[in-house]
């Protein structure tokens, strides 16, 4: 199975990124995690991205906060799908990272999830890999069914409390 590459701009992003890591673990999807910054370590970020396809990666998740150009910079150096996670910041709440990540000019796409949307970034990566991995498609369907059951149970508890 192809690997998911997870890059974060700083180790301070790890508490959010860990949710993506845990989701990939739940699905048994292989991954690698790195701290590469578009501005602090641009050479390493470029090297990783440019060689990712031949190194066995199928999709890259890039998480960054503030003036978040990491996902765009990664996408500039690979034709693999790149998913951006805008990280919440103290001053502007992640809006700056959201706009920096989502507003890519035409030609270099970055699939952007919500601010701190790490779980969805992993699920989207798994959905992409599932195109050539039937086992993942099965696991995704099972997760949806489990999520549905959980919500229906909560609905029943609320209905029983207030509607009788």
Residue 97 or 136 having the CB closest to ligand RP5: 97
Work out which of 3, 4, 6, 9 binds ligand RP5, going by CB under 6 A: 9
Work out which of 24, 87, 98, 115 binds ligand RP5, going by CB under 6 A: 87
Instruction: Round to whole Å and give the CA distance between 28 and 8.
Output: 21
Residue 45 or 126 having the CB closest to ligand RP5: 45
Contact flag: residue 115 with ligand RP5 (CB under 6 A):
no
Do strands 82-87 and 3-8 pair parallel, antiparallel, or not at all (unpaired)?
Answer: unpaired
CA distances for 98 relative to 42, 52, 71, 72, 116, angstroms: 21, 24, 11, 12, 9
Contact flag: residue 84 with ligand RP5 (CB under 6 A):
no
Tokens 């207030």 — which residue? 162
In the numeric block, which tokens belong to residue 98?
């959201």
Work out which of 7, 20, 66, 126 binds ligand RP5, going by CB under 6 A: 66
Reference 68, options 34, 108, 39, 32; nearest CA is: 39
Would you give the distance in Å from CA 123 to the centre of its chain? 7
How near is the Cβ of 90 to ligand RP5 at its closest, in Å?
A: 9
Reference 109, options 76, 85, 63, 87; nearest CA is: 76
Instruction: Round to whole Å and give the CA distance between 29 and 45.
Output: 22
Interaction pattern, residues 26-65, with ligand RP5; x per rule: CB under 6 A: -----------x--------------------------xx
How near is the Cβ of 158 to ligand RP5 at its closest, in Å?
A: 38
Residue span binding ligand RP5 (CB under 6 A) among the ranges 8-16, 23-31, 43-51, 100-108: 8-16
How near is the Cβ of 148 to ligand RP5 at its closest, in Å?
A: 34
Beta bridge partner(s), residue 60: 5, 82
The contact set with ligand RP5 (CB under 6 A) reads 9-10, 12-13, 37, 64-66, 87
């Amino acid at each position: 199975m192809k690997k998911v590459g997870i890059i974060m701009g700083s180790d301070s992003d790890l508490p959010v990124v860990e949710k993506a890591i845990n989701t990939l673990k739940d699905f048994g999807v292989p991954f690698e995690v790195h701290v590469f910054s578009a501005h602090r370590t641009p050479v390493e970020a470029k090297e990783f991205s440019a060689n990712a396809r031949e190194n066995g990666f199928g999709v890259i998740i890039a998480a960054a906060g503030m003036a978040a150009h990491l996902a765009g910079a990664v996408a500039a150096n690979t034709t693999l799908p790149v998913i951006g996670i805008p990280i919440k910041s103290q001053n502007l709440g992640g809006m700056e990272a959201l706009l920096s990540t989502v507003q890519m000019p035409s030609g270099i796409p970055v699939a952007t999830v919500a601010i701190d949307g790490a779980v969805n970034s992993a699920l989207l990566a798994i959905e992409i890999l599932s195109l050539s991995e039937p086992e993942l498609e099965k696991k995704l369907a099972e997760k949806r069914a489990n999520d549905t059951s959980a919500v229906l149970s909560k609905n029943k508890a609320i209905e029983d409390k207030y509607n009788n």
